[in-house]
Amino acid sequence: EDGLAAWLRYAPLPGVNHQAIPSNIVALNTTTSSPVYSAGVELQKGIQGIFGKHIDIGYEKGESLSTIVVGTFGAYSQEYNNNFNAPDLEEDGFWLNTQNDTVQILGQNERGALYGAFEYLSMLAQGNFTKVAYFSSPHAPIRWTNEWDNMDGSIERGFGGPSIFFQNGLIVNNLTRAAEYARLLASVRINGAIVNNVNANVTLLTPQNIAGLGRIADVFRPYGVQLGISLNFASPQTLGNLSTFDPLDPSVIEWWGNITDQIYEAVPDMAGYLVKANSEGQPGPLTYNRTLAEGANLFANALQPYGGIVMFRAFVYNMLNISDWKADRANAAVQFFKELDGQFDDNVVVQIKYGPIDFQVREPTSPLFANLLQTNTAIELQVTQEYLGQQCHLVYLAPLWKTILDFDLRVDNRSSTVSNIISGKRFNRPLGGSAAVVNVGTNTTWLGSHLAMSNLYAYGRLAWNPSLDSEAILQDWIRLTFGLDPSILNTITQMSMESWPAYENYSGNLGIQTLTDILYTHFGPNPQNMDNNGYGQWTRADHLTIGMDRTVSNGTGFAGQYPPEIAAMYEDPSTTPDNLLLWFHHVNYTHLLHSGNTVIQHFYDAHYNGSGVAQTFVPLWESLKGKIDDQRFEDVLFRQEYQAGHAIVWRDAINDFYHNLSGIPDLGGRVGNHPWRIEAESMVLDGYKSYTVSPFEAASNYS
């Protein structure tokens, strides 16, 4: 197995009597591009795979009761002359009833029906034959992915090979993988995908490429996935040859109107635009002294007649001067956006990264969620593991995401969880939801690693229902991906659930951020570079102290961006949780944590513990030999061996760095001795050259 089928393998379930499975499918739509038609095909395929039983698909009510009927409520009522109405189902919701001979899978819309079919198949594939009857509605309407694919076929922060959409500046001819991707997304109820990089290339908007977008949308449509695109704010000038890209200039407004008309001509159901403006060198409205809201509304107006949405990113910040102790990149989003609350059109959604900096291993919840009360918001997550081991390390991310989604920001001293803010419920907003940077590629594993796919699966599940349990989601994924053997279930559960804490322990604990190379690669340890960059990703470490003082009383004031109850908690080191201490406070290495340990000893211990856990993943995985097909077994083993080694590189680089800086010995006597480490000098190397490693703490033999 090469991973292409992901969690939709429909592997045979041995020893199951398939008499209980209905003998026909009735799909209430004959249009081949409709999600209900796809649902019929999917049910047939799944049942064939799981039970080895071929069942026919009909398109109207038949004689037999032993049927799976899939369609919208509307189509069902008509065909079966039965006024069975959906009780307040949200858009995309469904009803699944397996209690009678006729299994009913009915959607509020076509997409809902397809989701219900995938739900039913997921139960069967997991050997779950419980009789159920329930309605299911999404928590939020926007459940999108963002692909950071470039027109040349490369992918920014993509670790699964080149693009499935683009090559040599054009849309690829063969969109088979794009169609398969849409199927995967639909199976976890994702309803939109932005296909190109937020650092957008204007050439996407040439007539030839707009036609190409139409072809992508055509292969997405049968799965109910709407296509969206990222825009470059300066396009009217760089592509349209106008003298300006000022969002209030009539020629610019007209230019975007025309382009939008052309896109909807090719993609009548386009989801909308994603815009990264005035961030990291991208053009935006600030060039013309226009506000970010004026910039966003430019697109909102163009999209409004078509029902499209603008996802406007809150990831806006300036480069900062390291010597300014009041400077703080974490403050930027609230500083730029809070004053614009209420100025965004109703079809604008401000898309906010989960933390105030940038997808770090641990961040506090972005306070912007608590500062936009009259604006639609969505959370931005990352499935692609940019700072989190880049698919070479197993890091199951649902537990991290849950710390944010479940976080109660206490706006107006009332329960205000992030999940209820982004759904629109808390502030009564019409739109909201989530986006995840996924970055699948042409690699048959999609993401570059089999085990990383649990993150894509979990993202979709949580976008639909953020109250689900991370471990329960994981276990569904394991059974679907690797089968029902309990030892497989237990082993992969253990590895995955231990993986984020382990990675946090060896890469950057106590809220200090991922201590990685900040300047570009974002991979591997580089603690020294955390205090010499203009990106504001700072640790403020010297030989006595460490951590960013973000208090109101003494520091950058960031803690004060939260509502009062939360601000008070973070203002005081004694009420700040240990895992965020260094995010909010600048303390001595000898500062005592709630755990009773000093900061520096916690660093040492955590790096030993975390890297130690990574060592155990290898024998744990090896215990599954023969229970998993050889191909996936070997692929994962290779990754786990790499992670085990790289975790030691992390351990020693970080520990040695802070040991040198602070001069404080490790009470365990380990730091500096490098147990379990094999130096390059003790290996027989072929074809390698010596190289000056920075930081030198990461180098072989510590030199």
Q: Which residues are catalytic?
A: 280, 358, 386
Location of structure tokens 């077994």: 633
How far apart (Å, rounded) are the C-alpha atoms in residues 75 and 81? Answer: 10
> 83 to 102, contacts with ligand BDP by CB under 6 A?
none
Q: Which of 37, 76, 315, 562 binds ligand BDP (CB under 6 A)?
A: 315
* Site mask for ligand BDP (CB under 6 A), range 252-291, x = bound: ------------------------x---x-----------
Identity of the residue, 25 or 274, whose beta carbon is nearer to ligand BDP in the bound complex: 274
- As a whole number of angstroms, the distance between CA 703 and CA 701 comes to 6
Contact between 147 and ligand BDP (CB under 6 A)?
Answer: no
Q: Which residue has the tokens 């944590």?
A: 593
Nearest to residue 93, comparing CAs of 136, 60, 46?
136
Would you say 358 or 549 has its CB closer to ligand BDP?
A: 358
Contact 620, 495 (CB under 8 A): yes
As a residue count, the chain comes to 703
Cα-Cα-Cα-Cα torsion 652, 658, 660, 664, nearest 10 degrees, comes to: -110
User: Smaller CB distance to ligand BDP: residue 278 or 662?
Assistant: 278
The least distance separating ligand BDP from the CB of residue 359, rounded to whole angstroms, comes to: 6
Contact with ligand BDP (CB under 6 A): which of 53, 61, 157, 540? 157
Phi, psi (rounded to 5 degrees) for 158: -105, 135
Residue whose CB is nearest to ligand BDP in the complex, by number: 358
Distance CA 123, CA 332 (A): 45
CB of 368 to ligand BDP, least distance (A): 15
In the complex, least distance from residue 529 CB atom to ligand BDP, rounded to whole angstroms: 14
Measured from the CB of residue 381, what is the shortest distance to ligand BDP in angstroms?
12
To the nearest whole angstrom, how small is the minimum distance from the Cβ of residue 62 to ligand BDP?
52
How far apart (Å, rounded) are the C-alpha atoms in residues 349 and 141? Answer: 12
Angle between the 110-125 and 176-187 helix axes, to the nearest 10 degrees? 80
Burial class (CB in 10 A: 0-12, 13-18, 19+), 133: exposed
d(CA 341, CA 388): 33
Q: Does 644 bind ligand BDP (CB under 6 A)?
A: no
Which residues between 35 and 54 bind ligand BDP (CB under 6 A)?
Answer: none
Residue partners of 684: CB distance under 8 A and separation at least 6: none
In angstroms, what is the minimal distance from the CB of 406 to ligand BDP? Answer: 24
Binding mask 572-611 for ligand BDP (x = CB under 6 A): ----------------------------------------
Contact 106, 116 (CB under 8 A): yes
Q: Which residues contact 43 (CB under 8 A, 6 or more apart)?
A: 25, 27, 55, 57, 68, 70, 117, 120, 121
Kindly tell me which of 36 and 404 has the beta carbon lying closer to ligand BDP.
404
- Which residues, 6 or more positions from 330, have their beta carbon under 8 angstroms from its beta carbon? 356, 357, 536, 548, 550, 556, 558
Q: Which is nearer to ligand BDP, 154 or 615 (CB)?
A: 154
User: In this structure, are residues 612 and 604 in contact, taking their beta carbons and an 8 Å threshold?
Assistant: no
Which structure tokens are listed for 489? 């279930």
Name, in order, each residue with C-beta under 8 angstroms of 425's C-beta and a sequence gap of 6 or more.
none
DSSP count for the chain of H helices, then E strands: 18, 18
Instruction: Say which residue the tokens 């509307």 belong to.
Output: 74
Shortest spacing between CB 530 and ligand BDP, in angstroms: 15
CA angle 257, 224, 231 (to 5 degrees): 30
- Smaller CB distance to ligand BDP: residue 44 or 360? 360
> In angstroms, rounded to a whole number, what is the distance separating the alpha carbons of residues 381 and 366?
12
CB 347, min distance to ligand BDP, A: 22
Closer to ligand BDP by Cβ: residue 261 or 280: 280
> E-strand spans in 624-664?
none
Rule CB under 6 A: choose which of 92, 358, 476, 498 binds ligand BDP.
Answer: 358
Residue 79 makes contact with ligand BDP by CB under 6 A:
no
What number of CA atoms fall less than 13 Å from residue 480's CA on the CB side?
28
Provide, rounded to whole angstroms, the least separation between the CB of residue 379 and ligand BDP: 13
| CB 382, min distance to ligand BDP, A | 8
Q: Can residue 451 be called a binding residue for ligand BDP (CB under 6 A)?
A: no
Residue among 11, 4, 3, 2 at smallest CA distance from 121: 11
Closest CB to ligand BDP among residues 276, 461 = 276
Give start and end residues of each alpha helix (H) in 22-109: 35-51, 73-80
Among 419, 355, 350, 351, CA closest to 388:
355
Q: Does 386 bind ligand BDP (CB under 6 A)?
A: yes
Footprint of ligand BDP on residues 195-224 (CB under 6 A)?
198-199
Q: Which is nearer to ligand BDP, 515 or 636 (CB)?
A: 515
Q: Which amino acid is at 258?
A: N
**Residue 546 is encoded by which pair of tokens?**
């460490």
Distance CA(74)–CA(84), nearest Å, equals 9
**By the rule CB under 6 A, 156 interacts with ligand BDP:** yes
Q: Given the complex with ligand BDP, which of 279 and 470 has the nearer CB atom?
A: 279
> How many residues sit close enough to ligand BDP to count as binding (CB under 6 A)?
10
CB of 280 to ligand BDP, least distance (A): 6
Q: Which is nearer to ligand BDP, 156 or 254 (CB)?
A: 156
Residue with tokens 């379990």: 676
In the complex with ligand BDP, the residue whose CB is nearer, 317 or 562, is 317
How many CA atoms, within 13 angstroms, populate the side-chain half-sphere of residue 606?
24
> Strands, DSSP E only, in 121-260?
133-136, 142-146, 166-167, 170-171, 192-194, 226-231
> What whole-number distance in Å separates Cα of residue 97 and Cα of residue 85?
14
Question: 216 near 165, Cβ under 8 Å?
Answer: yes
Q: Which of residues 522-561 bind ligand BDP (CB under 6 A)?
A: none
Q: Give me the least distance between CB of 430 and ligand BDP, in Å please.
A: 26
Residue 359 in contact with ligand BDP, rule: CB under 6 A: yes
Q: Choose between 157 and 425: whose C-beta lies nearer to ligand BDP.
A: 157
| Nearest distance, CB of residue 275 and ligand BDP, angstroms | 11
Phi, psi of 530 (to 5 degrees): -75, -10
Applying CB under 6 A, which residues contact ligand BDP? 156-157, 198-199, 276, 280, 315, 358-359, 386
